[in-house]
Amino acid sequence: MQPLTITLIQTNLHWENKAANLLMLENKIKAIDERTEIVVLPEMFSTGFSMNNEALAEDMNGETVSWMKRVSAENKIVLTGSIIIKEKENFYNRLIWMLPNGDYGVYDKRHLFGFGNETEHYSAGSKRLIASVKGWKINLQVCYDLRFPVWARQAPFASDSAGGEAAEYDVLIYVANWPERRSHAWKTLLCARAIENQCYVVGVNRVGDDGNKIYHSGNSMVIDHAGAVLYHKADDEDTFTITLQKESLLEFRSKFPFLKDGDQFSITAPSISPERGGSLED
């Protein structure tokens, strides 16, 4: 029942300027003075939420992935956030879960934001990514995925290897470029996902105007398994570190075993196929 320490970086982003964003974010990571294990960056952290995919995309050997490998190794952290990736002829809003040893997992955003024309420029993913760190299971999702609860829904409790009951995951992370004009939905849905899945939820959003003059108010949050808000920051840039306790999570699930009463269901188009993102052990 080791605790898990996570750092959220809520920041403005330089529009379509990779070099400026990577330098800014590296400086913020270096300035973290607490011991942390996971650092969470916003959606499309190297460019902002841009539809200029042809000019900004890179492959998995590109500048930003190489930067993530180096920064993760140098700071001995898991580093995560999404960037624009081209693979064959397709473009993806791809979350990368980078481990200090250079191994990584990927999650391609499943729910593309048609209202903002993301569906015209990117391809949707079809697999969830559930990573493991120090015995914690972490479900990783991107922005608009938050509006679709089935994609995040815990399956009913299954027996674990010790003969007890285990949930699919313990922490649900959303990285986002979620505009201020819909911030009420962002805050409400983050709390809903925590309550209905009996898990910690971490939502990391950007602040400031993007290149389309759309204002983002941040409202990054950490919410516990009962829906209590442990951290909330609006409008300002902020780097915040929090330690999550596994014991309190398991006690709550044991006292209120709601997940075992959940509906049996499956998603057929596309089918869910969780992948593992590796592990980080002290």
Catalytic residues, by residue number, are 43, 109, 143
**DSSP assignment letter at 17:** -
CA pseudo-torsion sign 66, 202, 182, 90: positive
Let me know: does 134 contact 282? Beta carbons within 8 Å.
Answer: yes
Helix pair angle (63-75, 18-30), 10° resolution: 10
Q: Which ranges of the chain does DSSP label H, i.e. alpha helix?
A: 18-30, 53-56, 63-75, 118-121, 149-152, 183-197, 246-255
Q: What is the dihedral of CA 202, 8, 248, 164, to 10 degrees?
A: 60
Burial class (CB in 10 A: 0-12, 13-18, 19+), 137: middle
Distance between CA atoms of 145 and 178, rounded to whole angstroms?
11
The H-assigned helical ranges of 31-182 are 53-56, 63-75, 118-121, 149-152
Supply angle C-alpha 256, 154, 230, rounded to 5.
65
Task: Say which amino acid occupies 50.
Answer: S
- Tell me the C-alpha distance between 41 and 160, whole Å: 32
